[in-house]
Chain A
């Protein structure tokens, strides 16, 4: 057992402290001490940054900074991958932070010889998430600076930020950004709520009764494959372009998803659980509330997450087609007047809100159904 660790942990004569100091002071040249290959690669990167600097100074500076950060990371990575004990030289907390960023592996995974294909080896790359976001903004800025596209097509990030502040404070078409967003969220939640309110009981009835199953089957099977977007014209004909038509549409979008989720949740139960409940003296009502319902919760929750995603997409589309307020309305009007910056603001907000809803649902799920996937 001991021989294993001594064989792999070959002591490196290089000091992590010296490597970091040199890299911080000299950048890629200092990195040559830790890794020759890394130093050469980043020197080339610095050269590219120099050319960019001559074309667009701020972007070039950004690239210089990025290369400097990369050099520090590379120095740590190069030395610790040879000798994991060097991590001990770092101040406490730094190693944990590095592990979170995905720069070093600690714990059991540190000793894994097979990593390619191991799902665990492909988790925790926070650093690369930061890199990708920074890269997108850098490329965006660069494209604008180099005037690759007219600002009408591609406004600079600064203008988008400016537009954001304007609509957040002054508003657009009678409503501030928050009011537009609030109207959209209101429609979303009400439609979704009624979809669940009706869909879950129908799903339960279908899962528990042959008659209900037979009765609702044709309706559900017919309505389910119709994309909610195809119902937008009908909802406008029936209910106009106000809240009612949006809520009705989202109700329909959520309804069938929730019916199917609840039905399959009910039917996912193991007969042994039903038998156990009956032998332990449960009545039908007790069985429904204490056994069938909790057993179906994981699938109901999955359905809710799917329904939320579909509803959000459907809502934005419905507001694009016809509305007098809402986040989708905002970007379609902005688009008509070529206010591209505002269109960008809207798209970014739609993306962030959609992601936030899903994260919130996942957190709620983990809290309310801790047994999901474990039992």
Chain B
């Protein structure tokens, strides 16, 4: 099961209808070993989500390669699960229709979690066992028969996480999974993600807008820069491992943590200012 993710000089160029081009990713290369936790940080438009969709197999790079476990990534596959953004409130595209994340609201919590196994034709009895195990993992024992719309945002994201895990992926891609949650729930979910990472030894890539979250959860951290989207700086961090045993809030107030946080924050500030300057010039 030791599957390595290899991104080799990946580039992504979108052609615009007016003949112009947008370079969403340029020459991105890295390797991720099985069981590693990578967080990706960067201003909007730096290609974070493009990178994730590329690994998930929803997009094909215009140049370079994405490989997982020795084979080229040519489409979505059950070994690479993506945990989608949690969106609450009216969806911008469709006016009044409320839609949340990627859960199926016409199914119960248990049916959502069992979706992957049932698609594979796993017998019902076995699915019930799998569902219970992962309800347990995410701390939602007894919520199996609830409807999705009866749950809070934090609980919904736990269900989404359990649904990912129930499909037994090797790599979990998380696209700002905690973005829409309140601060307290967010902190609980961060601990949960660390716990699951430790217990299941999954490889995790997590995209976030929060510098603190990126520092706290990432063994490795990429700060990406926009136009063209590229990896600007890489960090190797001790906080995720420490977070397994220490209190997260204590880690956050430590000198090393604060120092790195400020460094990254000013880095991102500079990028944003540069973008603003370029827009004004244009």
Interface residue count for B (Cβ, 8 Å)? 34
A279 close to B101 (CB less than 8 A) = no
Which residues of B lie under 8 Å from residue A279 when comparing CB positions? Answer: 56, 76-78, 80-82, 167, 169
Q: Does A286 reach chain B (CB closer than 8 Å)?
A: yes
A275 close to B116 (CB less than 8 A) = no
Chain A to chain B: the 10 pairs with minimum beta-carbon distance, closest first: A375-B105, A374-B149, A280-B116, A276-B102, A294-B106, A272-B102, A272-B84, A278-B76, A371-B105, A281-B78
Q: Does A282 reach chain B (CB closer than 8 Å)?
A: yes
Stretch at the interface among B90-98, B124-132, B269-277: B90-98
Docked complex Cα distance between A295 and B75 (Å): 24
A233 to B: closest C-beta gap in Å: 38
B106 close to A371 (CB less than 8 A) = yes
The size bracket of the interface on A is 20 to 34
Which residues of A lie under 8 Å from residue B169 when comparing CB positions? Answer: 279
A375 close to B98 (CB less than 8 A) = yes
Which residues of A lie under 8 Å from residue B107 when comparing CB positions? Answer: 294
- Interface of B: prevailing SS: loop
B150 to A: closest C-beta gap in Å: 8
**Closest chain A residue to B116, Cβ basis:** A280
Q: Does A283 reach chain B (CB closer than 8 Å)?
A: yes
Docked complex Cα distance between A297 and B80 (Å): 30
Docked complex Cα distance between A294 and B105 (Å): 9
Among the listed B97, B98, B103, B119, which residue makes an inter-chain contact with A282, where contact means beta carbons less than 8 Å apart? B119
| Most chain B CB inside 10 Å of its own CB: which residue of A286, A290, A373 | A290
Among the listed A275, A286, A291, A375, which residue makes an inter-chain contact with B82, where contact means beta carbons less than 8 Å apart? A275
| Most chain B CB inside 10 Å of its own CB: which residue of A272, A294, A369 | A272
**Closest chain B residue to A294, Cβ basis:** B106
**Closest chain A residue to B175, Cβ basis:** A272
Known contacts being A275-B58, A275-B84, A297-B106, is A375 close to B116, with CB within 8 Å? no
Known contacts being A270-B91, A297-B106, is A375 close to B148, with CB within 8 Å? yes
Known contacts being A280-B167, A371-B148, is A272 close to B101, with CB within 8 Å? yes
Residues of B140-155 contacting chain A, CB below 8 A? 147-149
Which residues of A lie under 8 Å from residue B101 when comparing CB positions? Answer: 272
Docked complex Cα distance between A374 and B212 (Å): 33
